Amino acid sequence: MAIGMIMLAFVLSIMAGMKRDMINQGTSLLLGHMQIHAKDYRPDRSIYDAIPAGRSDLLGQLRGDPSVLGAAPRVSTFGLASSGNKSIGVEILGMEAAAERNVTILHEKLIEGSLPEPSEQSQIAIGELAAKALGVSLGGEVILIAQAADGSLGNDLFTVSGIFRSGLDLLDGGMAILDLGAAQSLIALPAETIHEIALRTASPTDAKTVASALERTLANPAIEVSPWQTLTPELSSWVAMSDSWSWIMYVIVFSLAAISVLNTMLMAVFERLREFGVLAAIGMKPRSVVALIVIEVTALAGVSLLVAIAIGTPLLRRVVGKGIDLSSFSDGFSVTGVAVGPIIRGDWVFGDFAVGAALLFVCAALAGLYPAMRAAAVDPARLTRGEIR
């Protein structure tokens, strides 16, 4: 039972850790906890569906909101990146590096250089795979071509100022990052025009509530605030799936625990049938016998729990602290568009542990009922006749 407890805690911790990593990675890399767009912007992402409000007013209002920890304005379009004889299709994202640092961690994913600065309008940051495909390195030249808002063919020459590795092929191979102003001038948009504001809030878990509260505060029917759950349905369905997996884990672990309790207690009861007979003979009520066994089982569960805590705590501390290094198997993998590093760290999910422990007690008590009833049903008369050994 102690082993079951440790196993359960271990698995719950890993699952919670992965879920946390998935959500954090998925939201902090580029998405943000929520995003603001014009109502018609998603999913077509037309450059003409800009946020219909003064950029500075809106940003000011957002940054003044206590639930918003960071707000990053962006413009986005699709185009062609070219260098020498090589060209690739890219998503072009114009951003303010300073604002972005409060919302996302793309700057931490740079393996070389830095994100484009507003002072350098001709800088570009691209992913490692894109750099390879274009055959450029830091300081290299990249031409971007995109359909501009006035119908002309926007084109400009940029110098690679940063190369990032996020672990996501989509980003590393097909994303070109410019300064907001540079992107706006590339596609002939006025400086006030933005397509997206990415937001960071206190925690991604309450994104839905905060998003709808924010939408009410902004009170602009042409603007929508979408939490990450809406922006990446894949990620949120993965999270839902991982939650149902923990329920399956509960069922498996508790079935095993219940069977072992049943087995232990049946043995314990059958070995002491004579003693129970004697107890019955001297006038102990069957109900009291049942209570006795159930208390015994509960005590057993209690001891198991203590053992589990004693052995499990250092184990979990290691899992949470250092994590499980899977790098000998792979360099990390991506699930539903989220890169999960090669090291998986667990999480202290005390709530889940407590639920697990409580369920273990209930389970043990239920599993103890049958042996208890057998013990209570011992007939002292048959016992004295020697019919029960």
C-alpha to C-alpha distance for 216 and 210, rounded to whole angstroms: 10
CB of 147 to another protein, least distance (A): 6
CB of 114 to another protein, least distance (A): 23
CB of 243 to another protein, least distance (A): 38
Q: Is 139 in the site for another protein (CB under 8 A)?
A: no
Q: Is 143 in the site for another protein (CB under 8 A)?
A: yes
Number of H helices, E strands in the chain: 13, 14
Q: Is 8 in the site for another protein (CB under 8 A)?
A: no
CB of 42 to another protein, least distance (A): 18
Q: Distance between terminal CA atoms of the chain? A: 29
Strands 175-179 and 86-95: parallel
Secondary structure element (H or E) that encloses residue 9, with its range: helix 2-26
* DSSP-assigned letters across all residues of 243-304: HHHHHHHHHHHHHHHHHHHHHHHHHHHHHTHHHHHHHHHTT--HHHHHHHHHHHHHHHHHHH
Instruction: Spell 133-161 as b/e; 16+ CB within 10 A means b.
Output: bbebeeebebbbbbebbeeeebebebbbb
340 touches 334 (CB < 8 A): yes
72 vs 133, which CB is nearer to another protein?
A: 133
Out of 111, 153, 295, 377, name the contact with another protein by CB under 8 A. Answer: 153
- Nearest alpha carbon to residue 92 among 130, 62, 119: 130
Q: Return the residues of window 268-287 that contact another protein according to CB under 8 A.
A: none
Out of 21, 96, 100, 156, name the contact with another protein by CB under 8 A. Answer: 156
Q: Is 152 in the site for another protein (CB under 8 A)?
A: yes
Size of the site for another protein (CB under 8 A): 19
Q: Return the residues of window 66-125 that contact another protein according to CB under 8 A.
A: 80, 82, 85-89
Contact string (CB under 8 A) for another protein, positions 190-209, x = contact: --------------------
Out of 64, 119, 150, 330, name the contact with another protein by CB under 8 A. Answer: 150
Structure tokens at 258: 């219940």
Q: Is 170 in the site for another protein (CB under 8 A)?
A: no
289 touches 279 (CB < 8 A): yes
Compute the half-sphere exposure of residue 172: CA atoms within 13 Å on the CB side of its CA: 16
Contact string (CB under 8 A) for another protein, positions 21-50, x = contact: ---------------------------x--
Out of 98, 157, 291, 306, name the contact with another protein by CB under 8 A. Answer: 157
Binding site for another protein (CB under 8 A): 48, 80, 82, 85-89, 143, 145, 147, 149-153, 155-157
